[in-house]
Amino acid sequence: MSPERRSPEGSLPLSETRAAELVESPSAMDDAVRFHDAVTEWLDLSRELEQETRQPKTETSEEKPGRIWGLERREPKQAVPKATLQDKINAISVGQVGDLLPRATAEKSKVRDERILTLEARLAELDREIARYKDRPDLRPEVRAEFKKERRFQQVGRELDNLETYEDELDRREFELLKTRKGKLGSTDRTILQNSAALHETIQNRVTALETGPETALAARLHELARYRDGLVRDRFAETPSRKKYLEMIRRLWEEGKNVFLTGATGTGKTELFIYLAKKLYGQPPEIIRGSERTGAPEIFGKTLLRATPEGGTETYFQPGRYTAAIDAGRPLIFD
């Protein structure tokens, strides 16, 4: 019988040495489990955060007719950090448009704000925990690949959302300027519009780069489809490239103070198109008058009613209709 073959160290048979090489040490196994759990939780929370930040608004102008009869005040928007035109162009070009956006908006409730902050804080903790394993490519390579892909997709989606938000803000400022000036533009107004046009061009160039880049094209396409879905859920309207030309035509007419009359078959999205554009340009939903046999002057213009007083008597007061409320608040009005 031949003597048993020994490893070079002479401590273990070669067969046992190879077996030991294939078995992870307890500490390596624990690291792999912790890495897997951290990445799994990160993926779940990041998707939850994305859904939370995309939460559709439920309030519409139809729920509260005439609610702003000189009583409701709009919250002032947080100012965009001051920066030169070149600073803004540079930020957009390198994917840092988020630095140009306000950090918070008055639209979010305190509960929702707190939930978002909690999710972001936990994600930051997981980021630090996952970063400890960056020099360990042996730990669950399939989990690591999924984490990198998901993170890249979210980075691209977040940047595209920020670009869209910033461009919408530019559109609102241009619209307000042209609507107010009514075609009588001074040199300062023209400079503002020229700067805005330069920013629009930079934004479009950045979007094109994300949509055509080999590492970002798929993420950009998936984000575009998700944006269409969210638009249908939130506004029953998705801003597709084929619809942008109609939105642009209506916007130009509104800038000149003209009324717009849309005709077409029932159910083709005429009202939703108007509602979507009104929210985009005015930052608030329009007043809507639904035409029916019951629609009369009181519903349109308003009516005088009686109410009790603290002294036990009665007094008359005026309840505005949708038309009066829209004029008073400077909001668009839709006759449907």
Return the bridge partners of 333, or none: 287
Predicted pLDDT at 205: 92
Continuous segment of H or E residues that includes residue 303? strand 302-308
Continuous segment of H or E residues that includes residue 317? strand 314-320
Q: Is the pLDDT of residue 140 over 70?
A: no
* Helix, strand, coil abundance in the chain, percent, nearest 5: 60, 5, 35
User: What is the per-residue burial (b if ≥16 Cβ within 10 Å, else e) of 4-30?
Assistant: eeeeeeeeeeeeeeeeeeeeeeeeeee
Kindly report, residue by residue over 246-286, the tens digit of the pLDDT: 888 888 888 887 888 888 888 888 888 888 888 888 888 88
Q: Which of 162, 138, 154 is nearest to 42 (CA)?
A: 154
Kindly report, residue by residue over 87-129, the tens digit of the pLDDT: 888 888 888 887 787 643 443 455 567 777 787 887 788 778 7
Kindly report, residue by residue over 15-57, the tens digit of the pLDDT: 444 344 434 455 666 666 776 677 777 777 777 777 666 654 4
Q: How confident is the model at residue 202 (pLDDT cuts 50, 70, 90)?
A: very high
Separation CA 334–CA 260 (nearest Å): 10
Predicted pLDDT at 100: 81
What average pLDDT does the structure give for the chain? 75
Name the pTM for this structure. Answer: 0.60
